[in-house]
Chain A
Amino acid sequence: SQQGEEDPQALSIQEGENATMNCSYKTSINNLQWYRQNSGRGLVHLILIRSNEREKHSGRLRVTLDTSKKSSSLLITASRAADTASYFCATLNDYKLSFGAGTTVTVRA
Chain B
Amino acid sequence: EAGVTQFPSHSVIEKGQTVTLRCDPISGHDNLYWYRRVMGKEIKFLLHFVKESKQDESGMPNNRFLAERTGGTYSTLKVQPAELEDSGVYFCASSPAGGALGRSEQFFGPGTRLTVL
Footprint of B on A, CB under 8 Å?
A: 2, 4, 30-31, 33, 35, 40-45, 48, 88, 90, 92, 94-102
Contact = CB atoms under 8 A, between A and B. Distances in A.
Given A94-B103, A95-B56, 12 more contacts: A30-B100, A33-B105, A42-B3, A42-B108, A42-B109, A42-B111, A45-B108, A48-B105, A95-B31, A96-B56, A99-B43, A100-B42
Interface string B99-117: 0100111111111000000
Contact of A43 (B31, B40, B95, B108): B108
B110 A94 contact: no
A108 B103 CA distance: 36
B65 interface: no
Interface of B: 3-4, 6, 9, 31, 33, 35, 40-45, 48, 55-56, 59, 91, 93, 95, 100, 103-111
A79 B113 CA distance: 28
A100 B44 CA distance: 9
A48 B104 contact: yes
Contacts of A100: 42
Contacts of B48: 95-96
Contacts of A40: 9, 110
B102 to A, nearest CB: 10
